A and B are shown apart, each in its own frame.
Chain A
Amino acid sequence: MYTLSNRLRLFSIILMVVGLVGLIIGFTQAPSSIEEVKEMMAAHDAHGGGHGDSHAQTGGHNEGHSEDAHGGDAHYEHVLHQLQNKPWASLYAAAFFFFMIALGVLAFYAIQFAAQAGWSPVLFRVMEAITAYLVPGGLILFVILALSGFHVNHLFVWADPEVVAHDKLIQGKSGWLNGTGFIIRAAIFLGGWLLYRHFAVKYSRKQDEDSEGNKWYKKSFKISAGFLVFFIYTESMMSWDWIMSFDPHWFSTLFGWYVFASLFVSGITTIALITIYLKSKGYLEFVNDSHIHDLAKFMFGISIFWTYLWFSQFMLIWYSNIPEEVTYFITRIEDYKLPFFGMLVMNFIFPLLVLMNSDFKRVNWFVVMAGIVILCGHYIDVYNMIMPATVGESWFIGISEISAVLLFLGLFLFVVFRALTKAPLLAKGNPYLEESKHFHY
């Protein structure tokens, strides 16, 4: 049994408190009126000289359709919305990022059952603990989505009736993109995922107590196969709803897979990091280097899969250069050059070179280093998907972004490590356990 150390508990609580305070500061710093924006920009222009011109040129491409009518203050109103969105968007990005880690682990867990993998059962309890974050993380995300879907904030432009009234394209999509449907779909997605998580964990515990005839194991196998079918549909729709609809004028067919690759690799990386941590504390003596090696191979392979999808999406749109599609990448390359190309280095080139050598995949500190870079890279990936449509060129990784990450990191650590104390770390009833204990590559 794992016992949660007081240091870790205190550490996660400090993270949450610091994150919460920082986030509140972030919300209070957001301007509430056009006058404040003018003051801020005047102060800013005094340093930056002429920066406002570029704002004026690019301003209005996003929510612009409704604002063109307002005349003189349209630009300031645009910036006001961006700055008001900033703490909300950073909250959303962090909430989604940690939720997507837990979701990726859930998908990986289901795949291990459906594939009857012989190497991974010793890691099942770690995976089950990580997916425990789905419950609080999912609820928080649901609340944020509900607030946005009913336009408490300006995260989703399509939720603003005034914008929709002037926008033929969004009107055409309002059959899908409307607050009610959005919330109902979110409830279905989250409900399905949490339902699987609940029963998968329950059956896994029952299998420990009563492994005769593998009755519970067979049930786990069946629900995992069913969940994977449900998951791939709902994950795809989730990515349209929760990410792609930030840019309601833009669409991409492989977006669902792209988001999937991102969440899958983050999830696997988190499994590896937590496994290495627990092993270093002496809780997982049955996990050997070959298990770490396999996880590192998955990190390596799925990182490349992610890059493949990123490039396929980028290159097809860059090559054909159709105006209605290509704006998505033009805004990102113009305004987000460093994060946009930086994440490519972090998510592709770094793991490619670091994790290619088979010996390095067994060196724990190497895997940890690569894992931290991959996780940071995928946070920036989420950041790149959300920010350009919500805060545009007013982006900055400052107090509200870092605080939001700290808040959810603290919550994540707290929930995951508390869940680890709930069950023995070895799923002893699993029929593949002996094979997994002696797994050797």
Chain B
Amino acid sequence: MASKVIHALYTDDDVLMDAVKKVRAEHYHIEEVFCPFPVHGLDKAMGIPHTRLAITSFMYGCVGLTVAILMMNYIMIEDWPQNIGGKPSFSYIENMPAFVPIMFELTVFFAAHLMVITFYMRSRLWPFKEAENPDVRTTDDHFLMEVDAGNHDVDQLTSLLGDTGAVEIKVIDKEEDNH
């Protein structure tokens, strides 16, 4: 089923922010906004919930710390506790200062890399992925707001978007969710 969306293009981020607020005040559904750079406060204006990436990162860090501790406890203390340069290998805690650099690095390593991979997965980014850019100008100097036309009156919606300062308005028939 094909659905109708309206693409409204803007050339200024302040105008875009005002437009987003107006469109939301009129209870239209904004599908997506494409910007060439991050616009401060846009997520708040669009009502997008906070990211939980930082929380995942904290948990990945805990995993990394656990891996480091279990690994070194097994290798250095349980499996083959050798006397290496007089370092006490009787228990983990006695030799812990020597392990701290690795514990720290693995915590950071897990927290950073797994968070980045989570980000890629959640935002569906990978090599050879087909770009979803509806208009090439949005990577350079234009901002594009995609509004779901739904059952609304298209003429009324376009005139509203025109009032918000859009420089170009297009009505697009879109194949069902190709992204």
Asked if B97 and A318 make an inter-chain contact with CB atoms under 8 angstroms apart, the answer reads: yes
Can you list 12 A-B pairs with a CB-CB distance of less than 8 A?
A: A311-B97, A311-B100, A314-B97, A315-B97, A315-B98, A315-B100, A318-B97, A319-B97, A319-B98, A321-B86, A356-B58, A358-B54
- Shortest CB–CB separation between residue B41 and chain A, in angstroms? 10
Contact partners of A358 in chain B: CB under 8 A: 54
**Interface residues of A, CB < 8 Å — how many?**
8
Contact partners of A356 in chain B: CB under 8 A: 58
10 interchain residue pairs of minimum CB distance: A315-B97, A318-B97, A319-B98, A311-B100, A315-B100, A319-B97, A314-B97, A356-B58, A321-B86, A358-B54
Interface of B toward A, CB cutoff 8 Å: 54, 58, 86, 97-98, 100
- Shortest CB–CB separation between residue A331 and chain B, in angstroms? 17
Q: Known pairs A314-B97, A315-B97, A319-B97; list 9 more (Cβ under 8 Å).
A: A311-B97, A311-B100, A315-B98, A315-B100, A318-B97, A319-B98, A321-B86, A356-B58, A358-B54
Which residue of the partner chain A has the closest CB to B101?
A315
A-B Cβ contacts below 8 A, count: 12
C-alpha spacing A318/B86, complex, angstroms: 12
Contact partners of A311 in chain B: CB under 8 A: 97, 100
C-alpha spacing A321/B54, complex, angstroms: 39
C-alpha spacing A186/B42, complex, angstroms: 55
Tell me whether chain A's interface is mostly helix, strand or loop, or mixed.
helix
- Shortest CB–CB separation between residue A289 and chain B, in angstroms? 15
Contact partners of A314 in chain B: CB under 8 A: 97
C-alpha spacing A311/B99, complex, angstroms: 12
Which residue of the partner chain A has the closest CB to B54?
A358
Contact partners of A315 in chain B: CB under 8 A: 97-98, 100
Contact partners of A319 in chain B: CB under 8 A: 97-98
C-alpha spacing A192/B98, complex, angstroms: 41
Which residue of the partner chain B has the closest CB to A317?
B97
C-alpha spacing A160/B86, complex, angstroms: 38
C-alpha spacing A356/B59, complex, angstroms: 13
C-alpha spacing A321/B97, complex, angstroms: 12
- Shortest CB–CB separation between residue A322 and chain B, in angstroms? 12
Contact partners of B54 in chain A: CB under 8 A: 358
C-alpha spacing A131/B31, complex, angstroms: 54
Contact partners of B58 in chain A: CB under 8 A: 356
C-alpha spacing A146/B98, complex, angstroms: 42
C-alpha spacing A173/B151, complex, angstroms: 88
C-alpha spacing A314/B54, complex, angstroms: 31
- Tell me the chain A residues, 356-404 only, with Cβ under 8 Å from chain B: 356, 358
Which residue of the partner chain B has the closest CB to A321?
B86
C-alpha spacing A314/B101, complex, angstroms: 13
C-alpha spacing A311/B100, complex, angstroms: 9
Which residue of the partner chain A has the closest CB to B98?
A319
Contact partners of B98 in chain A: CB under 8 A: 315, 319
C-alpha spacing A87/B98, complex, angstroms: 38
